[in-house]
Structure 1
Amino acid sequence: MFWRVGIDIALAQLTNRRRQTVVSVLGVALGVGFFVATASIMSGSEKDFVDRLVNNAPHITIKDEFRNPAQQPIFSVFPNGAVSLAHTKPREYLRGIKNYGAKVEELSQRPGVVAEAALTGQLIVRYANKDVSASVAGIDPEKEKLLTKVEEDMKEGSLMRLRTTADGIVIGQGMATKLGLNLDDLATVISPTGLVKPMKVVGIFHMGNLLLDEGQVYVLLKNAQVLLGKPFIANQIRIRLPDPNIAETVAVQIESRWSYRSDSWQEVNRDILGLFVIRNAITYSIVGAIMVVASFGIFNIISTVVLEKRRDIAILMSMGFRGADVQSIFLIQGVIVGVLGMLVGWAIGLGLLQILASIKFTVPGVSDRQGFVLDYGFYQFAIGGFFSVLSAVAAAWYPARKAAKVRPVEIIRGAA
């Protein structure tokens, strides 16, 4: 019974001061709306970036190098001795992952794991007296389409044509445009060893990244070994896992077993991923400040009501209302303002998202015209709504507690 009466009294007091109530609701609503829009942009861009990292590159890359240099024998013999060694020259050894075929086979036995041996290097692609320096990757086409999105990004031809065409090469659209190459044209490839080899363009991809579109090419692993003068050698093993989140743990296990440096996608992009944490903290702090400013409007309106309605409060207490009951009435006012602000804020947030979704712009280094990547998940709306109600109740608490301490006898005597 009390809650029904309390809600009626709270609504009556809010509607009696409509202008202040509307201003307070709009203040909370704008805070919620901007929070939803900002959080959606941040979350969407972060998810899109991580998705590109996960899908466009292997989850783990094993390289033909070691994280730490080999320990000198003298330090192994005298681990705690006062020994100094200077002017040492690293031992020369044949680069490449030893017995890479067996390692790939062993890794491929794990459920859901795709492993591929690759050989990377540099070469020059020439056509019509124009030269372009490129990074070459010798791959297995059938596994590459599972490791990356190159096959999905093909505009002409196919990655699988590398299997059916002798001396085939897949290039980016930026390189094709720069050199004037078309599908099935013969380009001249010049390797660091001086080998000159005509190769047929069997595919043209477009990833939307200028560096890759202009400077990355793919050939069969055996062709890369011939071009780079490294027969039967692979300098990378590229791995895709069923769950990319465990890549860091698996990379540590692989490196501890075979000693070759194993980089997970998290390790390679750790600095960038760390920036997202800092960026989100700054964003939420700014939007949180907006919510705090909005809560002062609620504090102002309820404080004013308490001051103006002291006589009415005294009458309510004389009729049997306790201090806690009076406090609840003013807290209900804060909840009502917070809930109304949340609902209106959600509508404002949806409107802002629609406007942001229609905006297109050009990003330097990206050939495609880009737009905001938005996350329409429930999380942003729930967090914004929670803080709107929380800030409204927090703003109403002090004046509500002040109203609960009103002494009805003194108020009525003073009025008399």
Structure 2
Amino acid sequence: MPLIFDIALTHIAGRGRQTLVAVIGVAVGVGFSIAMAALMQGGQDDFVRQLVDTMPHVDITDEQRTARRQPAEDAFATVAIFGLRPRDDRRGIINPTAATSWLESWIPGRFAASLKTQGVIRFSSREVGAAIIGIEPERESGVSPIVGNFVEGSFSALAAGGNNVLIGDTMASRLGAGFGDTITAVSAEGLSRNFKIAGLFHTGTTARDEGEAYVLLKNAQILSARPNAINEIRIKLDDPDRAPAVAQRAEAELGYKAVAWQEANESILEALVVRNVIMYTVVGAIMLVAGFGIYNIISTITHEKARDIAIMKSLGFPESDMRRLFLLEGVAIGAAGSVLGGLLGVSMTYALSLVRFEIAATGQEMTRLPIAWSLMHYVIASAFALGSAAVAGYLPARRAARLNPVEIIRGAS
């Protein structure tokens, strides 16, 4: 076996320029594959992390997943209902105290009940449509994404009581209002109430920053003329991956629609899976192109060394040694390219992690490219490289092993 290694190294070193080009081809393919995987995986991880951080892991609303059965359907075996009109009632979670007490007994995390109603926020001569959300500050602080994102004021100002309101800085800009100003909230029922702006938040989510206003739960209930009512329970779990099981149990017990964050973003998560498939397909294509370079150099060596192969076989080297010889040459080029490609991948990934750019229209918010450092990226890229190198080396190796030494020596003579 050491003799086979020596011969393989001699063959590779004898064609230094072609070998170097093949190694560089593999290295560039591996390096770019690692950098691309780090960037795409980092973007995916960052996106999923934002989903988990900014939305409830389980959202229970006063909706039904399927239409309620009509009394006639329960009373008769066969019934046909036509022209059914929904009752004009004001929905809400029935018996909210019992519902929250039951959740408190087993939920592995935190939750907060709220009353959300649509309305209009007015200031001076301007007005914007908004979701007016009544909350309990003590519980809301454990589930809300706005708690640590205040540019003026603080979330705790709402707990001080009174007619205070928390709005996004984008909404305040559209209204022309500022911290400490008094705005008017008008509900869909036509009731109005004045609130003092006790905090301005900026989460980076446009819909929240310009379309949500937070008030005390009792004030929202008064504004919508719905005392003691809630229509949403938002849950944050210690382990977000348990959300589907928690949602299923809550919906089965309470009878209201409970949506896990995975279900709410199902189409997005499926798109991420497709993107990963595309990414590794591209990686495979890059390694395939690099494999052609290896195939070319090994084929050239087998053609030029045909007489040497014949002599070796006449000396007693079996076909398996011939296959092993040229397969080793291909794998050696792939291994060298993988090592250099790993170093190139580290350098490119580090360079990408230093890139900074503006994402806010004002030019004030800066961010870096999300990068995921993972050993698996190097393992997968190297495996693709070694695999393509092995295939590229095996094809000419098989042909070399089948050469007839008698015909080659006779032709040479």
Question: TM-score, normalised to structure 2's length?
Answer: 0.93
What is the CA–CA distance in structure 2 between the aligned matches of 1:197 and 1:88, rounded to whole Å?
Answer: 37
Residue among 388, 393, 402 paired with 1:391: 388
Residue of structure 2 equivalent to 1:59: 57
Contact 1:118–1:234 (8 Å) recurs in 2: yes
> 1:185-227 CA deviation, whole Å, 9 max, x = no partner?
3222222233332212222111112222111221121111112
Q: 316-325 or 237-246, which moves further after superposition?
A: 316-325
In the superposition, relative to structure 1, how do residues 192 and 93 fare at CA in structure 2: closer, same or farther (>3 Å)? closer
Residue of structure 2 equivalent to 1:45: 43
- SS at 1:292's partner residue? helix
- The reply on whether 1:13 has 2:11 as its aligned counterpart is yes
In the superposition, relative to structure 1, how do residues 154 and 238 fare at CA in structure 2: closer, same or farther (>3 Å)? same
In the superposition, relative to structure 1, how do residues 192 and 54 fare at CA in structure 2: closer, same or farther (>3 Å)? same
What is the CA–CA distance in structure 1 between the aligned matches of 2:71 and 2:398, rounded to whole Å?
Answer: 76
1:82-231 paired onto structure 2 within 5 Å = 83-110=79-106, 112-231=108-227
Contact 1:100–1:237 (8 Å) recurs in 2: no
In the superposition, relative to structure 1, how do residues 285 and 73 fare at CA in structure 2: closer, same or farther (>3 Å)? same
Contact 1:162–1:169 (8 Å) recurs in 2: yes
- SS at 1:239's partner residue? strand
> 1:219-262 CA deviation, whole Å, 9 max, x = no partner?
12111111222111000111111211121122112112221111
User: What is the deviation of 1:150?
Assistant: 1.4
Contact 1:210–1:367 (8 Å) recurs in 2: no
> 1:256-282 CA deviation, whole Å, 9 max, x = no partner?
222111111111111111111222222
Contact 1:161–1:203 (8 Å) recurs in 2: yes
Contact 1:162–1:168 (8 Å) recurs in 2: yes
Residue among 252, 256, 260 paired with 2:252: 256
Residue of structure 1 equivalent to 2:298: 302
Residue of structure 2 equivalent to 1:337: 333
Contact 1:326–1:404 (8 Å) recurs in 2: yes
Residue of structure 2 equivalent to 1:323: 319
- SS at 1:394's partner residue? helix
What is the CA–CA distance in structure 2 between the aligned matches of 1:365 and 1:281, rounded to whole Å?
Answer: 36
1:231-246 paired onto structure 2 within 5 Å = 231-246=227-242
What is the CA–CA distance in structure 1 between the aligned matches of 2:121 and 2:268, rounded to whole Å?
Answer: 32
Contact 1:208–1:368 (8 Å) recurs in 2: no
User: What is the deviation of 1:355?
Assistant: 3.9
- Structure 2, unmatched stretches of 5+, are none
Q: Quick one: which amino acid aligns to residue 380 of structure 1? A: H
Contact 1:147–1:240 (8 Å) recurs in 2: yes
User: What is the deviation of 1:78?
Assistant: 4.0
- SS at 2:230's partner residue? coil
Contact 1:208–1:366 (8 Å) recurs in 2: no
Q: Quick one: which amino acid aligns to residue 372 of structure 1? A: L
In the superposition, relative to structure 1, how do residues 227 and 207 fare at CA in structure 2: closer, same or farther (>3 Å)? same
Contact 2:283–2:381 (8 Å) recurs in 1: no
- SS at 1:66's partner residue? coil
Q: Quick one: which amino acid aligns to residue 219 of structure 1? A: V
RMSD, aligned CA? 2.2
Identity across matched positions, percent: 40
In the superposition, relative to structure 1, how do residues 76 and 197 fare at CA in structure 2: closer, same or farther (>3 Å)? closer
- SS at 2:63's partner residue? strand
What is the CA–CA distance in structure 1 between the aligned matches of 2:383 and 2:230, rounded to whole Å?
Answer: 54
Question: TM-score, normalised to structure 1's length?
Answer: 0.92
- The reply on whether 1:373 has 2:370 as its aligned counterpart is yes
Contact 2:111–2:140 (8 Å) recurs in 1: no
Residue of structure 2 equivalent to 1:32: 30
- SS at 2:142's partner residue? helix
> 1:275-324 CA deviation, whole Å, 9 max, x = no partner?
11222222222232121111111111101111110111222223332221
What is the CA–CA distance in structure 1 between the aligned matches of 2:262 and 2:106, rounded to whole Å?
Answer: 21
User: What is the deviation of 1:183?
Assistant: 2.7
- SS at 1:65's partner residue? coil
Contact 2:149–2:202 (8 Å) recurs in 1: yes
In the superposition, relative to structure 1, how do residues 238 and 367 fare at CA in structure 2: closer, same or farther (>3 Å)? farther
What is the CA–CA distance in structure 1 between the aligned matches of 2:106 and 2:96, rounded to whole Å?
Answer: 16
User: What is the deviation of 1:184?
Assistant: 2.7
Tell me which stretches of 4 or more aligned residues in structure 1 moved more than 6 Å: 363-367
Q: Quick one: which amino acid aligns to residue 109 of structure 2? A: V
- SS at 2:257's partner residue? strand
- SS at 1:152's partner residue? coil
- Structure 1, unmatched stretches of 5+, are none
What is the CA–CA distance in structure 1 between the aligned matches of 2:363 and 2:223, rounded to whole Å?
Answer: 30
Residue among 19, 22, 43 paired with 2:20: 22
User: What is the deviation of 1:376?
Assistant: 1.4
- SS at 1:147's partner residue? coil
